């Protein structure tokens, strides 16, 4: 098993009493001098104060610290929210002897409540004293909100005789339909990677991992995914368009995919893990539109929860995905290897028992062939259960 450790990167977690009682809710991640970082953020126009500030600070240079809190999103808090995020960065900068711009803040939790700045500031000295390279697991637990378990991943790859490590952690179980990444994800490598290449590798990895999952169709105000390169691996930086860059990019993608799948498996109230594959589309955008429409359909998702092979709901979702001149007689739909739709309707050999047998599994695939081209797309989603409604109805109580 690959260790959850990156040379030069240290983490610590503590209980600051931000919202939760008796559990850690504040994380500090320290990067070594000269480390590079790249990030992608939510496309929600109502983005949280920490998103605004982290984006601005990252544009000004290399960060030294990531400060992450759970329990309070610091979103929808206006000018005061931005001032509170800045105050936390300033307090950490004073304690760690760095510039405030070298601190990237991240928050997750309830929207519309002000950040308890004094509690956070008072916890910073203890966090600095507690930094350690083996702090990933504790940090992954501290950033949880409605998650039921921490999400971590690690792998190693061979960069021309050098063994590079990639480690990541993420949180997210609801408000997941990312238009960049997920609610919060932090990935790091010990390789030295130039800023431009690091950004390229991150965006390539995010595109069909974090950006291709959906729990409930909601894009959070606080989504952020950060990729850090510590530069502590001997042998010089990874060159763009090199074999090493491709190998490292694959390793980063693998970590992102593991974390993205873990988020869906831990979806609020989820009982099913469903991969939606759309093939034979005229374009990748068309394929993704169909996959998204199926994944976001409440009627499809509740049928998944009931293990009800209601193929009409899937067919209806395909039909309303906005495709021009769709020939429904060319469309075929499978549940795993069970063909349920062909020739414009229910396949002649299909039986309800066969469909129900597939949908009773905790993981399966919906495959749609459109008969229009050779483009494809994939989205990973889950069902919509009674517990999802309960969790979100009780979220602030």
* CB burial readout 221-250, b (16+ within 10 A) else e: bbbbbbbbbbbbbeeeebeeeeebbebbbe
What is the pTM assigned to this prediction?
0.94
Please check the confidence at residue 15 and state whether its pLDDT lies above 90: yes
- Any domain includes 260: yes
Instruction: Give residue 356's pLDDT.
Output: 97
Tally of structural domains, the chain:
2
Instruction: Give residue 199's pLDDT.
Output: 98
Please check the confidence at residue 382 and state whether its pLDDT lies above 80: yes
**Residues 137 and 25 both lie in one domain:** yes
Mean of all residue pLDDT scores within the chain: 95
Domain end position, chosen among 220, 247, 265: 265
Please check the confidence at residue 181 and state whether its pLDDT lies above 90: no
* Predicted confidence (pLDDT) per residue in 299-309, tens digit: 999 999 999 99
Please check the confidence at residue 1 and state whether its pLDDT lies above 80: no
Specify the CATH number for the domain of residue 24: 3.60.70.12
Please check the confidence at residue 176 and state whether its pLDDT lies above 90: no
Specify the CATH number for the domain of residue 315: 3.10.20.340
> Domain range spanning residue 344?
273-393
Q: What are phi and psi of 212, to 5 degrees?
A: -125, 35
* Predicted confidence (pLDDT) per residue in 358-376, tens digit: 999 999 999 999 999 999 9
d(CA 276, CA 261): 13
Residue range 158-167: average pLDDT? Answer: 97
Instruction: Give residue 159's pLDDT.
Output: 97
**Residues 254 and 188 both lie in one domain:** yes
Whole-number Cα distances in Å, 374 to 62, 212, 278, 283, 370: 42, 19, 10, 8, 9
**Residues 256 and 341 both lie in one domain:** no
**Residues 138 and 255 both lie in one domain:** yes
* Predicted confidence (pLDDT) per residue in 87-99, tens digit: 999 999 999 999 9
Q: DSSP H helical segments within 15-154, as ranges?
A: 49-59, 78-96, 117-129, 136-142
What percent of the chain has a predicted confidence (pLDDT) above 90? 90
Which of the residue ranges 14-28, 84-98, 208-222, 343-357 would you say has the lowest mean pLDDT? 208-222
For residue 152, the surrounding DSSP H or E stretch is strand 151-158
Q: 81 and 60 in contact (C-beta within 8 Å)?
A: no
**Residues 137 and 278 both lie in one domain:** no
Instruction: Give residue 182's pLDDT.
Output: 64
Please check the confidence at residue 180 and state whether its pLDDT lies above 80: no
**Residues 323 and 229 both lie in one domain:** no
Q: 285 and 194 in contact (C-beta within 8 Å)?
A: no
Which residues share a beta bridge with 186? 169, 226
- Any domain includes 186: yes
Instruction: Give residue 381's pLDDT.
Output: 96
**Residues 91 and 204 both lie in one domain:** yes
* Predicted confidence (pLDDT) per residue in 319-331, tens digit: 999 999 999 999 9
Q: What's the pLDDT band for 163 if we cut at 50, 70, 90?
A: very high
- Any domain includes 3: no
**Residues 121 and 181 both lie in one domain:** yes
Please check the confidence at residue 397 and state whether its pLDDT lies above 80: no
**Residues 113 and 221 both lie in one domain:** yes
**Residues 181 and 303 both lie in one domain:** no
DSSP code string of 91-113: HHHHHHTS-GGGEEEEEEEETT-
Residue listed under structure tokens 């990252």 = 58
Instruction: Give residue 191's pLDDT.
Output: 98
Catalytic one of 77, 155, 182, 221: 182
Domain end position, chosen among 217, 238, 265: 265
- Any domain includes 304: yes
**Residues 105 and 38 both lie in one domain:** yes
Instruction: Give residue 238's pLDDT.
Output: 97
- Any domain includes 1: no
* Predicted confidence (pLDDT) per residue in 273-314, tens digit: 999 999 999 999 999 999 999 999 999 999 999 999 999 999
- Any domain includes 254: yes
- Any domain includes 61: yes
Please check the confidence at residue 173 and state whether its pLDDT lies above 90: no
Domain end position, chosen among 227, 243, 265: 265
Residue range 379-387: average pLDDT? Answer: 95
**Residues 260 and 281 both lie in one domain:** no
- Any domain includes 89: yes
Known catalytic residue: 182?
Answer: yes
Closest CA to 183 of 92, 75, 273: 75
């Amino acid at each position: 098993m690959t260790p959850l450790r990156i040379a030069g990167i240290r983490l610590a977690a503590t209980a600051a009493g931000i919202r939760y009682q008796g559990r850690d809710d504040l994380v500090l991640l320290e990067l070594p001098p000269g480390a590079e970082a790249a990030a992608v953020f939510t496309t929600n126009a109502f983005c949280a104060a920490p998103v605004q500030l982290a984006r601005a600070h990252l544009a000004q240079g290399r960060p030294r610290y990531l400060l992450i809190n759970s329990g309070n999103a610091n979103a929808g808090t206006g000018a005061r929210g931005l001032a509170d995020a800045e105050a936390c960065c300033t307090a950490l900068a004073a304690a760690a002897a760095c510039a405030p711009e070298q601190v990237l803040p991240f928050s997750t939790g309830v929207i519309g409540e002000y950040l308890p700045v004094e509690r956070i500031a008072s916890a910073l000295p203890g966090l600095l004293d507690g930094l350690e390279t083996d702090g990933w697991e504790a940090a992954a637990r501290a950033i949880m909100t409605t998650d039921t378990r921490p999400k971590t991943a690690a792998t190693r790859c061979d960069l021309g005789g050098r063994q590079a490590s990639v480690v990541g952690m993420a949180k997210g179980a609801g408000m997941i339909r990312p238009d960049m990444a997920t609610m919060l994800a932090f990935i790091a490598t010990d390789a030295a990677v130039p800023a431009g290449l690091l950004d390229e590798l991150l965006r390539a990895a995010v595109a069909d991992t974090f950006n291709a999952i959906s729990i409930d169709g909601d894009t959070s105000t606080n989504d952020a995914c950060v990729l850090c390169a510590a530069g502590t691996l001997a042998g010089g930086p990874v060159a763009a368009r090199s074999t090493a860059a491709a190998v490292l990019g694959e390793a980063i993608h693998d970590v992102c995919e593991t974390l993205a799948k873990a988020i869906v498996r831990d979806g609020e109230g989820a009982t099913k893990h469903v991969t939606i594959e759309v093939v034979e589309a005229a374009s990748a955008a068309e394929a993704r539109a169909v996959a998204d429409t199926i994944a976001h359909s409440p009627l499809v998702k509740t049928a998944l929860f009931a293990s009800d092979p209601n193929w009409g709901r899937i067919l209806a979702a395909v039909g309303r995905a906005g495709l021009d001149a769709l020939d429904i007689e060319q469309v075929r739909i499978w549940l795993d290897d069970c063909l349920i739709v062909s020739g414009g309707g229910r396949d002649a050999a299909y039986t309800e028992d066969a469909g129900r047998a597939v949908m009773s599994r905790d993981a399966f695939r919906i495959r749609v062939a459109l008969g229009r081209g050779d483009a494809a797309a994939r989205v990973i989603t889950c069902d919509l259960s009674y517990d999802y409604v309960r969790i979100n109805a009780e979220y602030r109580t």
